[in-house]
């Protein structure tokens, strides 16, 4: 079934038109589950289009997108962004092609729940709301690192919505009114991390409207399962801090020294480990070998590992000059 772009002028229901933009780089393995999640959305199918933007993938991503567009009972529009290797540039390509007044963002490795769009769009009935952030919950994880991240709620929007400078929503689950993008500009196309905070802060800084949290608009996302993946994630957080510090002049640098790491590790070995072992032995049904106990036991060293990775990301990065460019509609 070959879908034409949704015509925003013909629909008769009062629900707003929605354009969902998903940047994809080598997403072949993720696409079947993602598309199943899009098919399961309860939002009226004639009121939403899905703009899936291939960002110069080397796998079968673009082929799968084109096949899905032909065969799915939802409006999938496969697009390409081959000039700039950046998820933000790919999102801008989707925004420019979108027909709707509300632009929604998620990622290829996210799994939106069926009520996601219904809950995410509802706050826009208030015309003062120009940004809505939904919640990000973890997919079930089995490794210690996944369970640690789950306990720390690493992915949750509550951390970004309570940011000391200004709140922002992560692009894994975010919706923005088109008028705000027209006024504040699109994503910085050459930025490689921190673009979600940057675009929200620019919109809020210009007093275009306000941000609202939709806790029932849920997407699920997988935590990092290996130390290498975890290190890469937290180094990226560090680079994001550095870039946002340079772009917005706000002090975001939270660094941890080797000396502080040594002190906290010593305290962990001498105080926390004996305490946690004693606590575990007092629960004979669980025992020291249980996953929950190990997560408790290793909380400090894993936390120090991520803090050092974030510090390295901050110290070893500098904002590229072209990352200051803001695209416009």
Q: What is the pLDDT of residue 218?
A: 97
pLDDT at position 287 is 45
Nearest-angstrom CA–CA distance, 274 and 297:
9
pLDDT at 124: 97
User: What integer pLDDT is reported at residue 299 of this predicted model?
Assistant: 84
The mean pLDDT values, 10 residues at a time, for the chain of 329 residues are 47 79 95 95 96 96 92 93 96 97 96 98 97 93 81 85 93 97 97 96 96 96 86 91 92 80 87 79 56 75 89 91 94
The pLDDT of residue 65 = 94
Please, what's the b/e burial string for 229-248 (b: 16 or more CB within 10 A of its CB; e: otherwise)? Answer: ebbebbbbbbbbbbbbbbbb
Strand order in the sheet with 174-177: 75-80, 48-54, 18-24, 102-105, 174-177, 129-138, 210-221, 110-112
Tokens of 292: 């929950």
> What values do phi and psi take at 245, rounded to 5?
-60, -45
- Domains of the chain by range and CATH? 18-224 (3.90.550.10)
Q: Are residues 262 and 213 in contact, defined by beta-carbon separation less than 8 angstroms?
A: no
Provide the whole-model pTM. 0.87
* The predicted structure's pLDDT at residue 154: 79
Q: Which helix (H) or strand (E) holds 68?
A: helix 61-71
In this predicted structure, what is the pLDDT of residue 284? Answer: 57
Write down the pLDDT at residue 290: 55
């Amino acid at each position: 079934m070959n879908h034409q772009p949704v015509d925003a002028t013909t629909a008769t229901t009062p629900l707003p038109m929605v354009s969902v933009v998903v940047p994809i780089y080598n997403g072949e393995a993720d696409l079947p589950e993602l598309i199943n999640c899009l098919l399961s959305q309860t939002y009226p199918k004639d009121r939403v289009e899905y703009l899936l933007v291939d960002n110069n993938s080397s796998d079968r991503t673009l082929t799968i997108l084109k096949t899905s567009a032909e065969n799915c009972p939802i409006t999938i529009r496969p697009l390409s962004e081959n000039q700039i290797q950046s998820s933000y540039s790919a999102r801008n390509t989707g925004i420019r092609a979108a027909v709707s007044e509300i632009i929604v963002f998620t990622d290829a490795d996210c799994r939106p729940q069926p009520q996601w769009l219904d809950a995410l769009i509802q706050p826009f009935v208030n015309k003062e709301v120009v940004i809505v952030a939904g919640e990000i919950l973890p997919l079930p994880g089995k490794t210690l690192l996944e369970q640690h991240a789950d306990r720390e709620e690493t992915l949750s929007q509550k951390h970004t919505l309570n940011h000391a400078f200004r709140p922002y929503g992560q692009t894994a689950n975010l919706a923005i009114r088109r008028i705000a993008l027209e006024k504040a500009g699109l994503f910085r196309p050459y930025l490689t991390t921190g673009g979600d905070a940057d675009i929200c802060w620019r919109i809020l800084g210009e007093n275009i409207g306000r941000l609202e949290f939709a806790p029932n608009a849920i997407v699920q996302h997988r935590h990092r399962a290996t130390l290498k993946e975890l290190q890469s994630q937290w180094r990226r957080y560090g680079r994001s801090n550095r870039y946002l510090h340079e772009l917005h002049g706000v002090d975001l640098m939270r660094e941890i020294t080797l000396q502080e790491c040594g002190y906290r590790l010593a305290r962990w070995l001498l105080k926390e480990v004996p305490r946690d072992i004693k606590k575990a032995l007092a629960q004979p049904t669980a025992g020291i070998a249980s996953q929950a106990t190990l997560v408790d036991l290793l909380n400090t060293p894993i936390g120090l590992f991520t803090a050092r990775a974030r510090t390295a990301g901050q110290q070893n990065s500098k904002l590229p000059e072209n990352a200051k460019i803001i695209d416009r509609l």
